[in-house]
Structure 1
Amino acid sequence: MRILAFDGRMGASGDMILAALIDAGADPDALEPVTDALEVEYRIDEATKRGIAATTVDVFLTGDEESGGDGRDRSDDDSSHEGDDSGHGEHDHEGDDDHEHGGSHDHDHNHTDGVHAEGHGPHRSYLEVREIVTDMDLEPPVERDALAIFELLGEAEASVHGEDLEEIHFHEVGADDAIADVVGTAALLRDLEPERVVTTPLATGGGTVSMSHGEYPVPTPAVVEIAERADWSLRGGPVDAELLTPTGAAILGHVADSIDSLPALSLEASGYGAGGYDLDPHPNVLRVLVGDGAGRGELAKDDIAVLETNLDDATPEVLGGLQETLADAGARDVSILPATMKKSRPGHLVKVICKPADRERVARALAEETGTLGVRDAGVTHRWIAEREFETVTLEIDGDEYEVTVKIASDSDGEVYDVSAEYDDAKAVARETGIPTRDVLSRAERATSESSSRE
């Protein structure tokens, strides 16, 4: 499995992610749909961070520099806002970490004077950003990822400010710089084609940061909201500076699964994306590793919710009908277990697996059908599932042929670890032939295994 792993010990920002991916071998030409749609250019250079040669990416405006492309003068705009990726040193190349122009990247960029897109340009609503992205003529996977990242950003800001997602008005994360970061990252990941993206715990930094509403602690409220929705974890430090920005958090919140430490990889490439801080003795870089994951394949990750309730007065008829009723509401699986209730009364524990989006509808159906006064959300976020394939095998018994469906379970590398014949099919054959059901099951599974080994 081709894995792309981020090393999150120095946090992440949108431009650092772009730079790391390019340094790891992503083709900068993949960024052309962004520059074709927006009046921006990506400037790719090199920097040295505490002895580490790294790539830098900056986004500059190429259109109306004073108005930011929407006819409004930004010179007196209050652009400090929750979710702001500006003003935190990401582009402040100074000290011994000066830019080294004339780097090794062959992609043609015209380094003319211009206005840095960060902190300039139009501020848009979430719906306006969606429209811009959908009008970019992107590849479908790139568009889906970009829209999902902005939805995560929008949900975070809406939660912080107590607004609805459709009403939220982005400030910096709705400007051209953030759009270039988000869409550019989605395009570069598409170019590298990893089968899985992971990240170690992300450092947030520490201290405080100034915003229009006052001084806020690092991590900022938007980053905290995004982290609550993401799979990975946060850790503070190692310095008092804002290391993890909302844009960086949202990108990794959508694309990356959590790992505790870097995985075993047969390494193909690595890259370093430079930030703008001078953080002696820490190199302010985001490292990315790309390679083939060692060991056996993995099960697929499936986002789920688990609902449960205790029942002490449900009739057998109600319990017997729950499978069908809850399945109609969106349940994927229903388990009913005997339990001992208060005062040692016998009862039942009902556990239901469903998709997160269906949890409210399934909970309502469970309450209405059983009369329970409460349904618990067990807090489960995902499960690991096999790749599933169904085959039909033909069994010859006493000169007649019978078909039995067999379910084959495998991991992401295609390694089969379970073969199970469908019980109802085997039972039907057993009735017709007089052979025990377990013998029919065994024959069907053996025939499937022998067929697979011949292939």
Structure 2
Amino acid sequence: MKTLYIDCTAGISGSRLIGALLDLKGEKADEFERRMSWLRRYGCAWAVSAGLNGGAGIEAKPVPSGCKTFGFAEIEALLDESKLLPETKERALSAFSALKTVGRGFCGDESGAPLLDACLVFEIVGALALLDTLQVDAVYSSPVNVGGRMGGSGQSAVSAPVSFFLKGMTVFAREGKHERTTLSGALLLKALSASTEPLPAGRLLAGGCGGVAPQGSAEALHVMVLEQNDEAALPYLTGKIVVMETNIDDMNPQDYQNLEERLFACGALDVFFTPILMKKLRPAVRLTCISRAADREKLGEIILRYSTTIGLRWSEVNRMTLERRLRKFESSFGPVSMKLSCWGGEIVRVTAEYEDLKRISQETGCPLDRLRPLVVSEFRQKEDL
């Protein structure tokens, strides 16, 4: 299993995470510039400078003449234009939508609608774009340093939004000259469903350091990609997931769709409903939600808030999966994301992204059952599979 480990001993911010990932990937500034150039049209400007021990550092600054703030509708348009994978677009949109839960944006327009600063937009989208190319299976974090922001009493204080997004993670406060963990850093940890775990044993594939800092200082962010030793030789991926279940016999059937959509929006891997008979032969439904361990609490809260149950059961189970790879393919019908499922180095299954096929079907009128095999056949011929 390919794992990303983020060392937050010095805290975390979006700009430092971008710098660390650039250093880890060995990506040069001009390569990153070309890949993210479309963001400049939205008023995001940035500069890449050398950091601690040669590590990369990123500063993201809105251009004075550009668009300095974004409404949520503009965020959706920005993500639609991007070349991010569908899963990453959904994760980015979820991160920005999560800001609504804290009750405010960075500022408001005349109508009071929340607006987001262009620097924050760049930090979130830039970091997720780099993670998009790593294709890791899990993200772990060290305990998070939240010190450095001084309150009115002269003591270290944590802003309410930062503490909200770090809920459930292990934190500590070690003060310094700068705010150790920023809103963008906390929001990214939440978007990545990072869990606070010790550094797992595994084969180190790459490491990176981000954040401009004086020589010998401890303000940089360190990241590592590992392949866990006991799984490196396996032709499939293994890991642990959480299975949550509850039996419901008194809920309006129309409300199940709303519940399902909320669970998927917050990171559920799968949600399904099974008809059952309860005591006294009452017809009922068993709700099953499968998730990552880090998402158990927030998904459990959704089940308890948005269904009629008053309790649920959960267990952690092992799983094995085929390795999945994603590729962009320019078919004769238009761009399509292709999913490749592999057993070791052997490609055993090729599927086309449903949302891309749906879009093409709506544009061309070609039925999905005819379109799907045509796109897959074109891809196989081009890739000689």
TM over 0.5: yes
What is the CA–CA distance in structure 1 between the aligned matches of 2:33 and 2:211, rounded to whole Å? Answer: 19
Whether 2:135 is the aligned partner of 1:193: answer yes
Q: Deviations over 1:223-263 (max 9, x none)?
A: 011112xx532111143641000111111112143233211
Structure 1 portions without partners, runs of 5+: 71-120, 309-316, 334-353, 367-374, 390-412, 415-455
Given candidates 326, 343, 350, the residue that maps to 2:285 is 326
Q: Whole-Å Cα distance in 2 between the matches of residues 132 and 41 of structure 1?
A: 15
Give the Å deviation of 1:284: 0.8
**What pairs with 1:376-415 in structure 2 (closer than 5 Å)?**
383-387=315-319
Q: Tell me, what secondary structure is at the counterpart of 1:10?
A: coil
Contact 1:153-1:246 within 8 A present in 2 as well: no
Q: Does 1:129 align with 2:75?
A: yes
Q: Does 1:362 align with 2:299?
A: no
Quick one: structure 1 residues 181 and 216, their matched pair in 2 at CA, closer, same or farther if it must change by over 3 Å? farther
Q: What is the CA distance between 1:58 and its match in structure 2? A: 1.8
Alignment of 1:271 with 2:211, yes or no, is no
Structure 2 Cα separation of the partners of residues 240 and 305 of structure 1 = 47
Paired residue for 1:182, among 124, 129, 144? 124
Distance in 1, matches of 2:112 and 2:36, equals 25
Q: Is the 8 A contact 1:42 1:60 kept in 2?
A: yes
Does residue 292 (structure 1) correspond to residue 238 (structure 2)? The answer is no
Alpha-carbon separation, structure 2, partners of 1:15 and 1:303: 35
Look up the match of 2:163: 224
Q: Match of 1:56, as an amino acid?
A: G
Alpha-carbon distance change, 31 to 306 in structure 1, aligned in 2, over 3 angstroms: farther
1:268 is aligned with what amino acid?
A: L
Give the corresponding residue for 2:13.
Answer: 13
Matched AA of 1:46: A
**Match of residue 43 from structure 1:** 47
CA distance in 2, matches of 1:19, 1:202: 18
Q: Is the 8 A contact 2:13 2:181 kept in 1?
A: yes
Match of 1:69 in 2: 66
The corresponding residue for 1:58 is: 59
1:168 positional shift: 5.4
Structure 1 residues 151, 238: closer, same or farther in 2, change over 3 A? same
Match of 2:6, SS state, is strand
Matched, 1:246 2:183: yes
Shift of residue 307, structure 1, vs aligned partner: 8.9
Question: Residues 238 and 319 of structure 2 are in contact (CA less than 8 Å); yes or no, is this contact kept in structure 1?
Answer: no
Q: Compute the TM-score of the two structures, normalised by the length of structure 2.
A: 0.60
Task: Report the Cα distance in structure 1 between the residues aligned to 2:104 and 2:304, rounded to whole angstroms.
Answer: 22
Tell me the alpha carbon deviations over residues 14-57 of structure 1, each in whole angstroms, 9 at most, x when there is no partner.
Answer: 10000000000164635645421434343222123xxx332111
Structure 1 position 169 matched with structure 2 position 114: yes
| Structure 2 counterpart SS, 1:198 | strand
| Other structure's SS at 1:326 match | strand
How far, CA to CA, are the matches of 1:289 and 1:136 in structure 2? 26
CA separation of 1:332/1:177 partners in 2, compared to 1, >3 Å: closer, same or farther? closer
> Which deviates more from structure 2 when the two are superposed, residues 294-303 or residues 19-28?
294-303
Q: CA contact under 8 A between 1:304 and 1:356: conserved in structure 2? A: no
Residue in 2 that maps onto 1:23: 23
CA contact 1:204–1:244 (8 Å) conserved in 2: yes
Distance 1:53 1:303, change over 3 A: farther
Q: Name structure 2 gaps, 5 residues minimum.
A: 232-236, 249-276, 291-298, 322-342, 345-385
**Once the 2 structures are TM-superposed, how far is the Cα of residue 385 of structure 1 from its aligned partner?**
3.2
* Cα RMSD after superposing both structures: 4.0
Q: Name which one, 1 or 2, has greater alpha-carbon Rg.
A: 1
Paired residues of 1:30 and 1:187 also in contact (CA < 8 A): no
Residue identity in the other structure for 2:44: V
Mapped partners of 2:85, 2:137: distance in 1: 17
TM-score normalised to the size of structure 1? 0.52
Aligned to 2:194: 257
Identity %, equivalent residues = 16
Give the whole-Å Cα distance in 2 for the aligned partners of 1:235 and 1:298.
32
**Contact in 2 for aligned 1:303/1:355 (Cα 8 Å):** no
Q: CA deviation at 1:217?
A: 5.3
1:183 CA drift (Å): 0.9
